[in-house]
Amino acid sequence: MFLAAYLVYTLARWIFVGDLGDAKQHARWIYDLEQHAGMAVEGSVQTALDAPVVSWLLSNLYLAAQLVVVPGALIWLYRRSPAVYRELRNTVVATWLIAVPVFALFPVAPPRLAGIGLVDTVSSQASVELTGRSTIFYNELAAVPSLHVGFAVAVSLALARAFERRWAKGLALLWGPLVSLSVVATGNHYLFDIAAGLAVTALGYAAGRTTIARLAWPRATSS
């Protein structure tokens, strides 16, 4: 299922590849919108967290959020709590597919590429450089919605449901806000992107729940 979703995503990136100039223009439009709303805090956040250790931690956390934590949480939940696993799996896949047409119709460059003074901390602090036209680690035309944040919140809520101890549930619920902080501090997303990511993930969750209900209904009626 995940392979099929990734192939669809990759094919869509190839077919609907946008123009970086348009993506930068859209990014600056978002920045202007945030400025008018008094919410353009990305520069302040990056400056406040501009310490070598903190920047290194947040940059590597940004990479680990998608490459390690999402698959790791899915594998653990598959063994520990199959029902929660199915909900998270369907949410992630549905959100991914919902986001594809958004990327195609409204390409947005990350703040670090928009020429507004934010820098790329991941390339300087982590072992992966976010450069080049297309890599498996990022999409320079797909800042909106932030799937980093959407998936992190979905994982956070799923793990909080599966954990039994209160302290573990509390730690799980901190994951979404921590990833949100990392994507802003590393210059990869605006607050606007985060809000869009949460909205798309909510739609993905609803779509995933509908899928589960349709798959479960025939079994329920036959029994």
What pLDDT sits at residue 142? 81
58 Cβ contact list (under 8 Å, min separation 6): 49, 121, 181, 182, 185, 186
What pLDDT sits at residue 74? 94
What pLDDT sits at residue 72? 94
Per-residue pLDDT of the chain (223 residues; tens, 9 = 90+): 767 766 776 676 666 566 778 889 999 999 999 999 999 999 999 999 999 899 999 999 998 998 899 999 999 999 999 999 999 999 998 998 898 888 888 989 999 988 888 888 887 775 665 555 445 556 778 889 999 999 999 999 999 999 999 999 999 999 999 999 999 999 999 999 999 999 999 999 999 887 655 655 555 445 4
How many alpha carbons fall within 13 Å on the CB side of residue 140? 17
What pLDDT sits at residue 216? 52
How many alpha carbons fall within 13 Å on the CB side of residue 108? 25
What pLDDT sits at residue 221? 47
What pLDDT sits at residue 131? 58
Domains in the chain: how many in total?
Answer: 1
- Residue span of the structural domain in which 198 resides: 2-222
Contact 109, 23 (CB under 8 A): yes
